[in-house]
Homo-oligomer: A and B are copies of this chain.
Amino acid sequence: MTPAQDDARRAMWRHIALYGVIGGLLVVALRVTEYRWLIIDRSLEIYGGIVAALFAGLGVWLGGRVTRKKTDIVVKEVPVEVPVEIPVEVRVEVPVTGPFVRDDARVSALGLTPRELEMLEMLAAGLSNREITEKAFVSENTVKTHVQRVLDKIGPRRRTQAVQMAREQRLIA
């Protein structure tokens, strides 16, 4: 019996014990409420439902707990044999999903102006208002106004979500 197995066994028993305790408490609670609330009619269905729901939830939790280890695949990094020097960073470019086609119908439906589309693209690039200011040669207030209008037209109240929604609607790449 290795310590690890020992630990696992203990954990298992903890689970079982917890399980039993909860079950016992539940049954007791049901017995008590039976006399307190006098719920007689359809009691079996009601109790069954309650028990089922609670234990199903517990089962989900337990299931996630016990099956987690197996599904979590650990990736070990194997040292790479390097005969010569390798550039510090090797980036693999992966062209995705062909050329992007903007949904112009959607754009005009939303009433997005060209300038606002620009702002949207810079939002998607993760630029701050200040950075957009520098790229667009306008004041920060102007940027805020444009961004605000984009948010109003697309819907959400946060730029992150605006970017996500804009991507889904094919407004930006």
Q: Which residues of A are interface residues toward B (Cβ below 8 A)?
A: 2, 19, 23, 26-27, 30-31, 34, 44-45, 47-49, 51-64, 66-69, 71-84, 86-98, 104-105, 107-109, 114, 123-128, 156, 158-165, 168, 170
Distance in Å from the Cβ of A75 to the closest Cβ of chain B?
Answer: 4
Instruction: Show 30 A/B contacts (Cβ-Cβ < 8 Å), sorted by A.
Output: A2-B168, A23-B49, A26-B48, A34-B44, A48-B51, A52-B55, A53-B55, A55-B56, A56-B58, A59-B59, A59-B60, A59-B62, A75-B104, A77-B78, A77-B80, A77-B105, A77-B108, A79-B81, A81-B83, A82-B86, A86-B86, A90-B92, A91-B95, A96-B96, A96-B97, A126-B156, A126-B161, A126-B165, A128-B160, A160-B160
